[in-house]
Amino acid sequence: MCGRVALFSPPARLARLLAAGLAEDAADVPPRWNLAPSQLLLAVAGAGAPRVLSRYRWGLTPRWSGAHQVLFNARAETVAEKPSFRSAFRDHPGVVPVDGFYEWDHRLGSRRAPHYFYRADGQPLLLAGLLDPAGPEGPACTVITTTPSADLDGLHDRMPVVLEPGDVDAWLAAGDAGPVIRSALMRPAAPGTLVHHRVSAAVGSVRHDDATLIEQVDASEP
């Protein structure tokens, strides 16, 4: 499950990383350290159009659900067949850049402690996503999750699909071969890709949103 992310890199930097243009409404997106579903992420759409980094609401809303269901994650194991996602998987892949994501240590029961995960090389994470360019509340996206790599250290049973920069073109491939190519890329990140540390429980509330949220805290803190 991936339900909270940090997105503080300048949009222009992310656009360069993705070899994309920058939409006018994305150029002034403010830095966020505690971004939640239903809020705005950035993403690039698939092949067949000029690659542009644009704003997308985090969470797909299936047409049959009205506005009552927001699907902010899609499972890699079922995304190609599940009615909520199969059309987007076939026709509207996207890449969602973030600086890091948060997961809560499920091994601690009621004392679940949040950890911040980010790339070991300091680069932004490129998450495999799906898009709905014409969602009921505007363009929307979701993030695909898979089984965890060793980098999660057993803290959680899911992780987002992390793409390497060299995988972006393949993930965004159009045509009949696109879904086959994407299926091969929906795997846990290679060991050593991610690092993490424990962070303040303040991240549990979206009212808190500043750079202190990604700072490491003492593991003995309640």
- Whether residue 56 is predicted with pLDDT greater than 70 in this model: the reply is yes
Read off the pTM.
Answer: 0.94
Edge to edge, the sheet with strand 194-198 lists 32-35, 5-7, 100-104, 114-119, 194-198
Q: Is the residue at 221 inside a domain? A: no
The contacts of residue 146 (CB under 8 Å, 6+ apart) are 75, 76, 77, 158, 159, 160, 161, 186, 187, 188
151-205 pLDDT, tens digit each: 999 999 999 999 999 999 999 998 999 999 999 999 999 999 999 999 999 999 9
Kindly state whether residue 222 falls inside one of the protein's structural domains. Answer: no
Percent of the chain whose predicted confidence (pLDDT) is above 90 = 82
Average pLDDT, the chain: 92
Residue 65 pLDDT grade (very low, low, confident, very high; cuts 50, 70, 90):
low
Query: Does position 108 have pLDDT exceeding 90, yes or no?
Result: no
Report if residue 219 sits inside a domain: no
Domain span at 72: 5-214
Number of H helices, E strands in the chain: 4, 14
User: What confidence score (pLDDT) does residue 220 get?
Assistant: 64
Residue 158 lies in a domain: yes
pLDDT at 120 over 90: yes
Domain count, the chain: 1
Q: Are 37 and 59 in contact (CB under 8 A)?
A: yes
Q: What CATH number does the domain containing 118 carry?
A: 3.90.1680.10
Structural domain includes residue 168: yes
In this prediction, residue 196 carries a pLDDT of 97
